[in-house]
Chain A
């Protein structure tokens, strides 16, 4: 096999990603390394293409890069939404009440879910060039009015499920767009890294959903600058504003509501049996790291910090049982790959240091 200049492993370059991933998992040592190198380059280039298409200004500049609306780049959008009404039972799927192209149902939960799924799809497409959860146009299904006064929303592995809240503790869960972005991102994380929903990897999984959920909200707010965003998840969910303003704060973990236990630093990492080892609690630490990196970089967080985190999520070196340190390391590495010679790598490293996650690259 003749090696082309600039390609260390030319034969690996023609293999599709799913084959490369299999080799990365099961091949002999040299093959595994070749596959990993190719995948890392491929992931990075795909993300780089997305950034360059959207922001033709040189990304090496430390100035704020605002993503312009992408025009004429070839529309591969495959947005296909269906909303189902569970009619206050837990029976799934429920009755179809709104489909793609159909007019509004004039029911808040239905229309909010429909719009939220669309906004999340659009964010992933416009900012990261990702075509739905699986990057292959996976249909987006939302199920509303689930259960009787059900104080929750969740991702069941295939679809989003929303309760109405009991009207005492919580309002309906479709009221906050970042909650929808949060839930759908669980699908993305499961597709990419399969971060195990327990302990640190689970807290990373949770944080990923908060990070990209927040970005959906900021994208909806016309690519709002990080320094102007509120970095709150689930604003308006609490019925009693004295009880809480939001479910979580990425900017200041532990301050979102009365009884919020989120730490913002490894010194306060909570070792617990509850909540799968505190996945919704300790997510405060990587959340804060993202907030610090994004605000330090400035501008719309989907321009730099978001793509860096996304590249790390898709990095084949990110294992399902990854720790905070392992993920942090990959964000630093991918910052350098995406913005070679720029300040971004140091900003990311400093952010992790500030939350007590020590990286030695």
Chain B
């Protein structure tokens, strides 16, 4: 499974913060690979709508683009702060920590 994670937006624009990060479960330690796969699964990732826009009037929030390729299928999702679903929150927090 390959996961590409890119952040955008935020109160201040910092170029390196916008650089995408790619994780490949083949390259991760087994525990981490399982954790990532579990998070993707729990978030119902492949069933998520492609775009979830931020609420009306929102500003300075982060936007997240997550692309996952796994077992021949591929899906990209665009999310924005504040994320409401706790499972998606967990996935984003995990990926954001990796990107730091």
Q: Mark A residues whose CB is within 8 Å of B.
A: 89-92, 147-149, 151-158, 161, 166, 168-169, 173, 179, 182-183, 186-187, 190, 194, 197, 205-206, 209, 234, 247-248, 257, 259, 261, 274-276, 278, 280-281
Contact = CB atoms under 8 A, between A and B. Distances in A.
Interface stretch (B21-29, B57-65, B69-77): B57-65
Given A209-B59, A259-B15, A274-B8, 8 more contacts: A153-B60, A154-B81, A155-B58, A156-B55, A157-B55, A161-B81, A197-B59, A275-B9
B74 to A, nearest CB: 21
B59 to A, nearest CB: 4
| 3 A-B pairs closest in CB distance | A190-B57, A157-B57, A154-B60
A47 to B, nearest CB: 23
A278 B60 CA distance: 12
B47 to A, nearest CB: 21
Interface size class for chain B?
Answer: 20 to 34
Nearest to A179: B11
Given A90-B89, A148-B93, A161-B82, A155 B13 contact: no
Q: Which of B14, B62, B97 has the most CB of A within 10 A?
A: B14
Given A234-B12, A259-B14, A186 B60 contact: yes
B55 A158 contact: yes
Nearest to B61: A154
A248 B55 contact: no
Contacts of A234: 11-12
Contact of A259 (B16, B60, B89): B16
A156 B10 CA distance: 12
A90 B82 contact: yes
Given A92-B82, A152-B62, A275 B13 contact: yes
Contacts of B60: 152-155, 182-183, 186
Given A90-B82, A247-B12, A259-B14, A157 B58 contact: yes
